[in-house]
Structures are given as C-alpha cells and as structure tokens.
A and B are shown apart, each in its own frame.
Chain A
C-alpha cells in the first residue's frame, strides 16, 4: 500500500496543476470514440470532432468566454470575484453597436470601449479596496445596476442595423478566426504579466495572504484595483468580439457569463480563495468547457442532461483541487 500512496502523493500536485488539461485530454479521447463519423477527407480519425470546420467552430465560440475567464482569473487570484462581468459585457456590447451605427469609426469605437471597460473595472476595484466591502457584494451591486444602465441606455430595445464594420474579427486568418488569435494573444500577455512582472507576483501575494502582503510592503489596494482594471479591459475586448459575432447590441447580452468565466477559471485549477492558479490553466479550462458543450451537441446529448454533467465536472474539479491543500 505504502508505495502506491507515496506515488499518488507525488503525482497529485502535478494532476492538480494540470487538471484542466487532464480533463481536456480525457474529453478528446471520448470524443474520438463517440462523435459521429465524418466522410470529410480532412477529418482526422474520420471523426466530425476532429475537422478543420470544428476547430474553427471551437475557437470561434471560445473567444468571448475565454477572454472573460482570463480577466476573471486576475480578480480571483487576488482573492476577489466579479459578478458584474456579464452585465458590463452587455452594456459595452450596446455601446459598441450604438456608436458604430451612428457612424463612429471602428478603431475609435474599439479604443474608447476598451478605455471605458478598464475604467469601470478600476472603479469597482477602488470601491472594493477603499470601502472594505466584500467583492461579492460590490460586484453584485454592479451586476444589477450596470444591467439597468444597459436597458436605460438602449431604451429597452435591441440595437440592430450594424453593417460589416467589425465582422473581420470573425473571418479566419491562417484557418483560425481572428477572434481566436486575439484570445491567444490575451492569454499570452496575461501569462507574462502574472509570471514575469512585479505586479504579477504581487497579485499572488495579495491573494495568498493580503495581511502578510501588506506588512511586506505590497500596495494591496493598488494591486486589487489593477486586477479589476485588467478584468474590465478583458471584458471590453470580449464585448467587442461579442458585437462582431452577433452584429447587434442587446441589453440582455452576457447574462450569466460571469459564472461561465468563474467556472472556466476553477476547472482550470484556479482556487476561489485566491493565490493559486494561472491564466494558462484558465485557457485550458475554458477550452474544456467549450469542447464539452460542442461534444454534447455533436453527440446529440440533451442540453439539460449536459448541464447536469457540467455541474458534476465542476464539483469534481474543485474537489480534486482541494485534496492535499486542506489547512
């Protein structure tokens, strides 16, 4: 018995670190087995799942939730949470669509929306830092009022009539939608910020133990505000891509997306208590969820049965993470 226990103990951290990847590989193996047969000559293993069309499909669907999840990871790493991401996405979606329809140029619109998103994130972060209120409560309030603003801003109607100003995000470059490339770049920058910069190390320090970080001279408030600002920036990027994909503005857009983002981070190995995890894990977590969704549709599993399985998988992911980490 002893050797087994010891070997598992040595494997466990590795599995925990790469749990999203382990899940993803398992899923791909199952997909190989189960997904419908394809006669497309380009299909690997004669499976519909492993076709170029499906790769494009996966990356097209991944961009928005993936970028939201990258932003959420920064906030979660500092020990915070952002429940307002979906609402902010909805508001920025409406703003992007409205400005473009009223004749603003695409670069200017995108630039201002990115500034706006970052600003809203920074404001939320400041409220949390200086009021000492729980991030959960502050962003819950944000979720409600930002959604309200989106409905007021649009006068409770969808904004349509968008021409093709920003649809290029959806078109492929080297076989992959540009939105997918933007996700790759965002993930890469996020990974570099977290692992190679002082700010990145401070994010982990604040999430690990904010008191200790404070005594060590880390400007805890500024780090929190920075993490929320990065999150806001990511939400704005996602909102632009969302607008490109949907070609309109909807005040109800993005409802519940904040939870998808948190789920991706958790499945990817980021701990909700803060301090553990990274954006590469989150990327894999988001990829896992999108791959799972698509697999369930391709395999004609009922949507609601699929939802049940997703819950089980999240629970197992969190359980696996907590093993050996209990204090």
Chain B
C-alpha cells in the first residue's frame, strides 16, 4: 500500500520536474527573456518533409533575431480545431505578432479575432478568405505547375504522353499544380496527358498506383507528380518493374525540400523538381520589420520557385543547408 503514496509523490514530482526542465518549445525560446516582445507561430503540422524543412528554416531565422523578440511555435497535427485552440491560447499571452500557417480556412474566425485585437497576422503558405490579416506569404502553385508543364513539354520536344500523378483532391496545392501544368500542356498539341489517380501526396500510394499502371503496358514518356514524394514512389515502382518503356521516362516532382530528392536528381533517377518555397524565414523577417514599426506594404508576397536539375543540384544543396533528409 505504500506504493500508493509513492505513486502520488511520483506524479507530483514528475509534473514539477517536467515543467521545470528546460525542454522549451523552440530553440529560440530556450533563451527567452521576459522583457522582449513575443512572436508566436501556429504551424499546421510538423510531420511532412516540407514542413520539417519549413520549421528548421523558421527557427534558424528566429535565432538570428533573438535579441529582438522571443519566438514560440506550436504544431496542430493538421487538425483545425487543435489549431484554433493553439491560436486562442497564444492570444492569452498577448503576442506582438502572430504567424499562422492555416490547416484549413476553418481557422478564419480565430485569425480574425487576433487581427481585430490589433495583433498583426502573417499568413504563411495557405490563406484564408477575406482581408482580415496583415500579409500572406507563400509560393504560387499555379505558376509552378505552369513552369513544370513547360519544362516537361520542352524536354519531350513537344511530343509525347505525360502521366500526371495527382495530389490530395480538394486541396488547393493539387488543383493549382494540375491546372497550371495543363495550361502549358495545351500549348503543345503533340502532348497527351493521362490524368492518374489521386495518390494523396503519398509515396506509398504513388508506388502502388504506378505498379498497377505499368502492368497495363500503356506507353508514356514522362511522369509529372504533384509532389516529390509521389515522384519518388513512381520512380521506385518503375525501377523494380518487369515491363517498362525502352527509354527511361522523365520523372518530375515539386517541393524540392528533401536531400533525398536532390540526390536522386544527381543520380539521374529523377529529372527535375521545382522548389515550393518555404515562407517561414520571410515570415520571421516581416515579423521583425513589424516590430520595428515597418508594416508590410503589400498584402501578398509571392516567393519564387527554383528549378532543380542535375546541372544545379550541388549548388542547390549548398544554398539550402536545412533541407529535410
């Protein structure tokens, strides 16, 4: 029975110890000081490779500004309800700037609440309807899709079949990357497009789909995947397939946030990827500017993409030290 008391003491001790430990939210907050203004970041999730790199670069940028403000970040596991709670809790701490990468438009009310309370709101990547935010920073998926389509059509010299492996239905990124590419393909009458399955941006799903597709024996000259993970999956299926096209087809993805992808481009397995720019560092920069009294003049900041091929792969790796593994 003494165990009972022991357990209770242990619980108390653990809670106290747990909270006393210095395992702080973000590297930047480890040296948090009470008199500095607070900048908070409600991240959608911290799980997929793009977000991992996004987090790493955001923290690196915040570290540069640690003499100016304290920076805290909380992910929400892609659950909008959780993100609403995170933002609401952040607001209790009276932050000076709120950065949000919305899970969905469902967080709109909560973001507007912050904006109405005169807290500058910086939206990263995904946006919300209306105009109750200070600035939105992100890439332009339609333009990236257009460039990817153009690249593939040129590589195929305007003639051939493109298999498009699609991202999660209903998600803007997938729709934009498809529509942008279709715009470009339409300019080349020799290009035929096969609209492949919705592989949910997942490597495994794309691999399974590609395995089945190769079984059909339909000819194709290029694979355009809405993200790199699916391009990798499709390539892996191709690599291990018994029956495949005589000439290696092109494999083109989007995101450019993983070392693995750049390595595969260097090895000639994948042919190209288009960087989907991560808005974190720019967001932190804008937050620092706002604290200095310079409100952003534009409502929208579009970050440029980078085409990564065998030629510039090494330089790309050197330029982007925080790529996910």
Contact = CB atoms under 8 A, between A and B. Distances in A.
Interface of A: 4-5, 8-9, 11-12, 15, 22-23, 26-27, 30, 33-34, 36-37, 48, 51, 53-54, 57, 60-61, 64, 155-158, 160, 167, 170, 242, 245-248, 250, 252-253, 255, 293-295, 297-303, 305, 309, 312-313, 316, 319-320, 323-324
B1 A298 contact: no
Interface in B1-48: 1-5, 7-8, 10-12, 14-16, 18-20, 23-26, 29, 32, 34, 46
Contacts of B11: 23, 26, 313, 316, 320
A325 B148 CA distance: 65
Interface of B: 1-5, 7-8, 10-12, 14-16, 18-20, 23-26, 29, 32, 34, 46, 72, 74-75, 78-81, 84-86, 88-93, 104-106, 108-109, 169-170, 198
Given A246-B84, A253-B80, A293-B85, 12 more contacts: A12-B1, A12-B4, A57-B85, A156-B170, A158-B106, A167-B109, A246-B106, A255-B79, A300-B26, A302-B25, A312-B14, A320-B11
A81 B18 CA distance: 31
Contacts of A61: 85, 88-89
Given A160-B105, A302-B23, A53 B1 contact: no
Given A57-B89, A324-B4, A64 B81 contact: yes
Contacts of A12: 1, 4
B92 A57 contact: yes
A4 B2 contact: yes
Contact of B170 (A22, A64, A158, A299): A158
> From DSSP, what is the main secondary structure of chain B's interface residues?
helix
A320 B2 contact: no
A301 B104 contact: no
A247 B130 CA distance: 14
Contacts of A51: 92
30 contacts: A4-B2, A12-B1, A15-B4, A26-B12, A26-B15, A30-B15, A34-B20, A48-B93, A57-B88, A57-B91, A61-B85, A158-B104, A160-B105, A170-B109, A246-B80, A246-B81, A247-B109, A248-B105, A248-B106, A250-B104, A253-B79, A300-B25, A300-B72, A302-B24, A303-B74, A303-B75, A309-B15, A316-B14, A323-B1, A323-B4
Contacts of A15: 4, 8
Contacts of B20: 34
Contacts of B81: 64, 242, 245-246, 253
Contact of A309 (B3, B10, B18, B169): B18
Contacts of B90: 297
Contacts of B80: 246, 248, 250, 253
B16 A30 contact: yes
Contacts of B84: 245-246
Nearest to A36: B93
Contact of A298 (B15, B93, B105): B93
Nearest to B11: A316
B4 A30 contact: no
Contact of B86 (A4, A295, A297, A309): A297
A301 B22 CA distance: 8
A302 B27 CA distance: 10
Given A246-B80, A299-B19, A300-B32, A294 B8 contact: no
A248 B3 CA distance: 49
A297 B82 CA distance: 12
Nearest to B80: A246
A95 B89 CA distance: 29
B1 A9 contact: yes
A323 B24 contact: no
**Which of A12, A300, A319: most chain B Cβ within 10 A?**
A300
Contact of B7 (A155, A247, A320): A320
